[in-house]
Amino acid sequence: MAISSMTGFGRGSATRDGYAVTVEVSAVNRKQFDLRLNCLRSLSVLESQILKEVRSKVARGGITVSLQVERTAGGGMLPELNVSCAKAYADASRALVTTCKVPDTLGTAELLRMPGVMQIASAGDPDSIAVWPAVNRALREALSAFLAMRQEEGKTLSKDLSKRLVAMQRLHAKVQKRAPLVVNHYRAVLQKRTASLGEREADTGLRDAIAREVALFADRCDISEEQVRLDSHIEQAQAHLESKKPVGRTLEFLCQEMLREINTMGSKANDRYVAKWVVELKSQLEALREQVQNVE
């Protein structure tokens, strides 16, 4: 059970060279690989590197990578004096001295420690080259968690797909058992309908006519080729469930081919029992196809 789901989520973080980076990777179902990067415009130049890293581990799906970067203490954050705030504190202190007749003890050191007087101002947008090592580390951590979630969900998908394939095999076994009896049944029906005819009619070639009709019917309702191909497709699908490579698109193709064979069997078999089992086969196959849409 090595298949992976297409949906997943992972988060990673890293701190390096004055930058604190958080990366989130999420994915939804999509037939092809498609990546969208959410980040500051100044960091959009990292998209090709992020794309290369993600593409090496993910085959398909709608991937969203969200990148957040903050400067840490000593990482380019500069202290800045809020003059208006400091002036407000000083004016309030002088008013208090005048009004309440208390000594003025507010000094420069105390004023600088007052809330809002000193602020941290950014030195500008983060530099993409400087921040990449932290981004790369956080991205790999996020991808690791992302892939683990995909693989865990893949186990559930694999069990369901295997159950559907086994159900299809059982239904197909019924068809295979019934198919050889269809011609015999048709021959018996013809013979019963002609049983009331006299010996004279039988002597004029009726038996030959029945034999020709039965032969034509047997040729028209022969589904042996379709049965062999359907067996092969089901066996291939089961084998791919154990593959360590992405198999979603391969399974989609096999589902299309199975539907083709099942439809042909239904149109050629000319038997109510086979027709019933063909309907059940198509129902199982439809459930299989819907689940395959979730496989990477």
The contacts of residue 223 (CB under 8 Å, 6+ apart) are 175, 179, 264, 265, 268, 269, 274
Q: Where are the alpha helices (DSSP H) in 101-127?
A: 108-112
Pick the CATH number of 8-74+128-151 from 1.10.3470, 2.60.120, 3.30.230, 3.30.160: 3.30.230
Radius of gyration of the chain (CA): 37
Cα–Cα distance for residue pair 286/113, rounded to 1 Å: 70
Q: Which of 87-101, 161-175, 248-262 has the lowest mean pLDDT?
A: 87-101
Sequential DSSP letters for 137-164: HHHHHHHHHHHHHHHHHHHHHHHHHHHH
Report pLDDT digits (tens) over 91-143. 888 887 788 777 777 788 887 878 877 766 555 567 788 899 999 999 999 99
Element (H, E) at 11: strand 8-16
The helix (run of H) or strand (run of E) holding residue 252 is: helix 248-269
Enter the pTM of the model: 0.69
Tokens of 286: 């439809």
Residue 146: how many other CB atoms lie within 10 Å = 27
Domain boundaries, the chain: 8-74+128-151, 77-122, 153-292
Does pLDDT of 1 surpass 50?
A: no
Helix, strand or coil, per DSSP, at residue 26: strand
CA-CA distance, 255 to 56, in Å (whole number)? 27
Q: Is 295 exposed, middle or buried (0-12, 13-18, 19+ CB in 10 A)?
A: buried
- Give 211-246 pLDDT, tens digit per residue: 565 555 555 667 778 889 999 999 999 999 988 889
Q: How far apart are CA 255 and CA 44, in angstroms?
A: 40
